[in-house]
Each structure stands twice: as structure tokens, then as C-alpha cells.
Amino acid sequence: MGGEGRPPRLESYEILFVDDGSGDDSFAVLNELAAFDDRVKVVRLRRNFGQTPALRAGIDWSTGDILVTMDGDLQNDPADIPMLLDKLDEGHDAVFGLRANRQDHLFVRKLPSFFGNWLIRRVTGVRIRDMGCTLRAMRRDLAESLSLYGELHRFVPVLAQMHGARIVQVPVRHHARVAGKTKYGLTRTVRVLLDLITVKFLHTYLARPMHVLGTAGLVSMALGGLSLLVTIAMKYLLNPPVFMTGNPLLLLSVMLELVGVQFISMGLLGEVLTRTYFESQGKTSYTVRTTLNLSDAGHRRAA
């Protein structure tokens, strides 16, 4: 799999295919490949679960120290893999592809992707320009630590940075789709926005939910108090006065106070759930890159 002018890498490897409940002859072809070469591994899911569960299955069933992922639509070029591995050898934990000269429809794929990538960068602070490129190389410890649920496959760079990974992006080739039909379109934009809210909360406030919910609650209660003061001022300072019982600002102040109390209550519940999440599963609120002169006992206590 060496590129032009680059000698092939000699490390051992396996090729793991995840058949996400395909309805064509994909599994029959994979069955023939696996019979021909025992380095070809196949995981066939019972039905179509989606790209994120398929990616999680690939990580779980692979055995290598370095994982390279790519889609099966042939738009990514396997000849770029040695370049990703070389970049990984420079000390990075993950190398992400940047689709140069992207061969996709302008209005259906390119523009929504451009807007989505820009929004994700602005909200999360992750500088990766192409979040949707599935050609990427990661070290196993990082890949296993990623919490992949729902449709968070498009946020892998964000999740990697959440774990303190050293990440970089390099240009890779991109080919036009020659078979099948893409399932991505403008409708995915709404899902990206909803997933972005989830990732932002997990990225910033997972261990301290009261900071976001409590802040919203205090702001709401402060606005409620201000609305009540304006209501009182309109009764006693205006001529003719605006009576409180007929002033909608009085109802607004009551609503804002109730909303504030609810936000703070949810923040307290979030704090309880956060402690349950970490303590019941033996999780820690930190991740360790490496240790020196430490035994496994410390790791067991931390776990």
C-alpha cells in the first residue's frame, strides 16, 4: 500500500470489514475474500445500525495497535494510508484526512458540509477543517476511549481532542462516487445541530452541569426580578399608572422565576447523575497519557 516513490511498510496488518446490514451481495464477496486471505476479517451486523455503531464495531473487533478507518464507497484512496502512518510516527495520536478537490455535489454535500464544519469549529474550538472525512489513523488507546453513540461519528476529531489527543489533519485524495447512492443530504443538517449541542455539553460541562444550568437559572431569575421591578415602576411612576394585575410583565416575571428554579433544579440533578456516572462505573474525570515508575496498583485504584 505504498504511495508513489515510497517503499511499502512491512508491519503486519489486518483488514476488517464491517457489513452494516447491507442488502446486496457484499457479504458474499467478503466471504470469498476471507476464505482467500486470513488477514481479511469480517463483522456482519444483524441489521443496518448506522455509521457510528459500525465504526464502534470496527474498533471493538480489531486487534492492531494502530487503526485506519475509511468508508466502503471507494471515494477515499487507500494509497494515502502510508502518508497517514508516517504522520502518526511524528508523535501524533490521530491523523485526520482533509478531502482535497472534493468530488461531491455542490449544494447537497459540499455547502452543508462547509457550514457544518465551520459551526463545529466555532462551537468546539477544534481546528480540524474537514470533520466528515472518514479516512483517518488513530492509536488504539485513543480509539477505544471514544464514546461513540447515536451519530457522533462526524465528531471523532472533537471527541479525540476532548481526551487530550495530539491531532493533525493532512490533505488526502477524494474520488467521485462510482456505485451506490449516498444517504447524506440536507436533512442531516438538523441532526448535526442537535449532535453539536450534545458534544458541546459533554466537551465542556459533563463533570460540572451546574455551571451551565445554574448560570441559565440565575440569569432567568435575574430577568424575572427586573421584570417585576419594571412592573412596580409602571404602577407608581407613570401617569396614568399601569396596574400590576393587567400588566403582562408581571406574568413574565413569574414565568422567568419558575424557569430559573427549574434550571437550578436540573443542575442539581445533573450533579447527582454525574457523580453516579463516574463512581458507579469506576470512571475518572481525567485521562492519563503515560506514567513512569508506577505499578498497576495505582491504575486499579484510579479505575
User: Which cell numbers hold the place of 165?
Assistant: 489527543
| Residue 21 sits in the same domain as residue 99 | yes
- Tell me the longest C-alpha to C-alpha distance in the chain: 92
Domain with 61 in it: what CATH number? 3.90.550.10
Q: Do 232 and 142 lie in a common domain?
A: no
CA distances 61 to 67, 144, 236, 247, Å, are 11, 11, 73, 64
3-state SS class at 242: coil
Q: Are residues 215 and 180 in the same domain?
A: no
In a domain, 174, yes or no: yes
Residue 58 domain-assigned? yes
- Is 10 a residue whose pLDDT tops 60? no
Query: Are the C-beta atoms of residues 174 and 103 closer than 8 Å to each other?
Result: yes
Tell me which residue range forms the domain holding 244.
209-287
Give the residue among 253, 266, 194, 191 at the shortest CA–CA distance from 226: 253
Spacing of C-alpha 67 from chain mean position: 18
In a domain, 296, yes or no: no
Are 40 and 155 in the same domain?
Answer: yes
Same-domain pairing of 125 and 149: yes
178, 231: one domain: no
Q: Is residue 110 part of a domain?
A: yes
Judge whether residue 245 has pLDDT over 60: yes
| Same-domain status, 101 and 231 | no
pTM over 0.95: no
Mean pLDDT of 240-262: 92
Q: Beta partners for 97?
A: 170
- On whether both 161 and 266 belong to a single domain, the answer is no
Residue 239 — pLDDT band, cuts 50, 70, 90? confident
Instruction: Report which listed range, 40-54, 93-107, 253-267, is most confident.
Output: 253-267
CB 14 within 8 A of CB 62: yes
The three grid cell numbers given for residue 12, joined into one nine-digit string: 503486519
Kindly report the CA angle at 83 between 180 and 155, in degrees rounded to 5? Answer: 55
Q: How confident is the model at residue 296 (pLDDT cuts 50, 70, 90)?
A: low
